[in-house]
Amino acid sequence: MNEAPLLDSFNRRITYLRLSVTDRCDLRCTYCMPQKMTFLPKAEVLSLEELHTLAMGFVERGVDRIRLTGGEPLVRRGIMSLVGSLCGQIGKGLREVTLTTNGTRLSEFAADLANAGVRRVNVSLDTLDGAIFERLTRRCRLDEVMAGIEAALSAGLSVKINTVALKGINEHEIPALIEWAHSRGCDITLIETMPLGVVDEDRTDHYLPLPGVVRQLEDRWALAPSQYKTGGPARYYDINATGGRLGVITPLTENFCAGCNRVRVTATGQLFPCLGGREQVDLRAALRSQNPAEELSRALDTAMHIKPERHNFRIGDDETEPPLARHMSMTGG
């Protein structure tokens, strides 16, 4: 079996797997999916055992960080058994297991996550205003999210807030979100909306380029470029006035692909070498073959060969369809 590190055609080492455990979500964020979303039949989704086997195939090829995503990963039945089995590999090839969540079920799972070995989570939160939250998510559950964040902090988890910056919706609230996050000891990252999947509104109406936001924040506070790195696409700033760190992810205005170290796998086992590309490799077929270890390793080699140099995200050029038809809930955030 090939145990060589995963290296793509542009000499980028792949050490980070974002593994979706479900496409289902208990929110319906307007920029992510339509109100009447059709989810995958459960029969098409990999079992928890298959997800573990797949993850270990990546670890054998040098991946040392795994982030569980969705949809909303905490709605997956039995999710803690997978978290526990993966965390059991920390120090045996894996460096860390992390999670991205919308926070609605974090109160229930925070202590178990910490006890299993998870040390940090990302929570998606775009507003502190209940009315705006309900408008964005089509659900009245902000109190649950806030309670989940507090539960995570109480359990000793490091929490990073991910905020999609939206023109005309939450742009006025961004400074307050930063101050609130930093007051809780949380880093916060601002993200440009990504054109993935058909939704019920025109994303161009709310697309907010982040370089302009950063300039406005610099007029308010002194932003010092930070040397902090997570291996992801965010650029970081330290804000002395608030005592915290601000990340910025700009898939549309400032390409960040040169240092890409990640791939994404859907809950059905489809590997996407690039979130913004159409290239994909079927890992489920490899897992269910007569020689799963060998076929999985061969499929990973194929993924390295086809991983593009950069993504093709674009917005605002009068397209009738988004560049990519799949929703973010399919490939994970």
- Known binder of ligand: residue 67? yes
Quote the strand ranges of the chain, DSSP E.
16-20, 65-69, 96-101, 120-124, 158-165, 187-192, 223-225, 235-239, 244-249, 262-265, 270-272, 281-282
- Known binder of ligand: residue 194? yes
- Known binder of ligand: residue 87? no
- Known binder of ligand: residue 262? yes
- Known binder of ligand: residue 100? yes
- Known binder of ligand: residue 29? yes
Closest CA to 253 of 278, 235, 232, 228: 235
Distance CA 107, CA 50 (A): 27
Sheet holding 281-282, edge to edge: 223-225, 235-239, 244-249, 187-192, 158-165, 120-124, 96-101, 65-69, 16-20, 262-265, 270-272, 281-282
Q: Is the peptide bond before 168 cis (omega within 30 degrees of 0)?
A: no
Retrieve residue 258's tokens. Answer: 């040169």
- Known binder of ligand: residue 36? no
Q: Taking each helix axis from N to C terminus, what angle separates 48-59 and 292-306, rounded to the nearest 10 degrees?
A: 60
- Known binder of ligand: residue 71? yes
- Known binder of ligand: residue 264? yes
- Known binder of ligand: residue 119? no
- Give the chain's length: 333
- Known binder of ligand: residue 235? no
- Known binder of ligand: residue 160? yes
- Known binder of ligand: residue 32? yes
- Known binder of ligand: residue 310? no
Q: Which residues are annotated as a binding site for GTP?
A: 18, 67, 100, 160, 262-264
Binding positions for S-adenosyl-L-methionine are 31, 71, 124, 194
Binding-site annotation, residues: 18, 25, 29, 31-32, 67, 71, 100, 124, 160, 194, 257, 260, 262-264, 274
Residues belonging to the binding site for [4Fe-4S] cluster are: 25, 29, 32, 257, 260, 274
